[in-house]
Amino acid sequence: MRARSLVVAAASFFYSARGGPTPTRLPRLAVFLWSRGPTPASLARAFALARAAGAGSARCVATAFCSVSFLVFAMTVARAQSSALVKVTPLGSHAGELCRNDRALLFEDPTGVRILYDPGRTVDETDSRLGEVHVMLLSHAHNDHIGDVRPNYSAPGTCAAPATGAANANSNFASIASLKNAAVLAPGELSGYLSRKIQNIRGSAPGACAEAGLDNTFDVPLGAPCTASLRPGGSRTARRAGASAMVRIAAVQAIHSNGVAAALVDSPGEAPGLSGYGGSEAGFIITFSNGLVAYLTGDTGMFGDMETIISRYYKPTLVVPNMSDTVTLGPNETIYMMRNLVRPRTVMPSHVNEQATQGGAIRGGTRVDLFQLFARDLVDVVVPVSDVTRSFDGAGRCVGCR
Looking at the Cβ atoms of 77 and 255, the one nearer to Zn ion is 255
Which range in 148-156, 188-196, 293-301, 313-321 contacts Zn ion by CB under 5 A? Answer: 293-301
Number of H helices and E strands in the chain, helices first, is 10, 21
How many residues at the interface with Zn ion, by CB under 5 A? Answer: 3
Q: Report, in Å, the least distance between residue 96 CB and Zn ion.
A: 23
Which range in 218-226, 245-253, 292-300, 354-362 contacts Zn ion by CB under 5 A? Answer: 292-300
Which range in 59-67, 165-173, 282-290, 295-303 contacts Zn ion by CB under 5 A? Answer: 295-303
Which range in 33-41, 136-144, 236-244, 259-267 contacts Zn ion by CB under 5 A? Answer: 136-144
Looking at the Cβ atoms of 142 and 397, the one nearer to Zn ion is 142
Q: Report, in Å, the least distance between residue 289 CB and Zn ion.
A: 29
Which range in 79-87, 144-152, 236-244, 308-316 contacts Zn ion by CB under 5 A? Answer: 144-152
**If we measure between CA atoms, which residue out of 3, 161, 163, 137 comes closest to residue 83?**
3
Looking at the Cβ atoms of 70 and 371, the one nearer to Zn ion is 371
Beta strands in 207-310 (DSSP E): 207-208, 217-220, 226-229, 235-240, 247-253, 282-287, 293-296
- Supply the DSSP string of 290-339, one letter for each residue: TS-EEEE--S----THIIIIIIIII--SEEE-B--SSSS--HHHHHHIII
Q: Report, in Å, the least distance between residue 355 CB and Zn ion.
A: 17
Q: Report, in Å, the least distance between residue 259 CB and Zn ion.
A: 9
Q: Are 349 and 371 in contact (CB under 8 A)?
A: yes
| x-or-dash string of contact with Zn ion, 251-290, rule CB under 5 A | ----------------------------------------
Q: Report, in Å, the least distance between residue 142 CB and Zn ion.
A: 4
- Does position 148 bind Zn ion by CB under 5 A? no
Surface-to-core class of residue 79, CB atoms within 10 Å of its CB (0-12 exposed, 13-18 middle, 19+ buried): exposed
Which range in 69-77, 151-159, 232-240, 299-307 contacts Zn ion by CB under 5 A? Answer: 299-307
Q: Report, in Å, the least distance between residue 121 CB and Zn ion.
A: 11
Q: Are 387 and 91 in contact (CB under 8 A)?
A: yes
Among 118, 125, 144, 325, binds Zn ion (CB under 5 A): 144
Q: Report, in Å, the least distance between residue 79 CB and Zn ion.
A: 39
Q: Report, in Å, the least distance between residue 28 CB and Zn ion.
A: 53
Q: Report, in Å, the least distance between residue 91 CB and Zn ion.
A: 16
3-state secondary structure of 59: helix
Looking at the Cβ atoms of 299 and 393, the one nearer to Zn ion is 299
Looking at the Cβ atoms of 260 and 342, the one nearer to Zn ion is 260
Question: Is the peptide bond prior to 221 cis by the omega test (within 30 degrees of 0)?
Answer: yes
> Phi/psi at 211 (nearest 5 deg)?
-145, 70
Among 299, 325, 354, 393, binds Zn ion (CB under 5 A): 299
Which residues, other chains included, contact 34 with Cβ-Cβ below 8 Å and sequence gap of 6+? 4, 7, 8, 11, 71
Question: Is the peptide bond prior to 268 cis by the omega test (within 30 degrees of 0)?
Answer: yes
In whole angstroms, what is the distance from residue 1 CA to residue 274 CA? Answer: 50
Q: Taking phi first (over 0 means left), then psi (-120 to 50 degrees means alpha), and beta for anything else, what does residue 276 get? A: beta
- Supply the DSSP string of 150-181, one letter for each residue: EE-SSS-B-SSSB-EEEE-TT-HHHHHHHHHT
Which range in 35-43, 121-129, 138-146, 259-267 contacts Zn ion by CB under 5 A? Answer: 138-146
Q: Report, in Å, the least distance between residue 391 CB and Zn ion.
A: 27
Beta bridge partners of 286: 249, 294
3-state secondary structure of 5: helix
Looking at the Cβ atoms of 144 and 354, the one nearer to Zn ion is 144
Distance (Å) of CA 48 to CA 25, 34, 67: 12, 16, 13
- Does position 142 bind Zn ion by CB under 5 A? yes
Binding site for Zn ion (CB under 5 A): 142, 144, 299
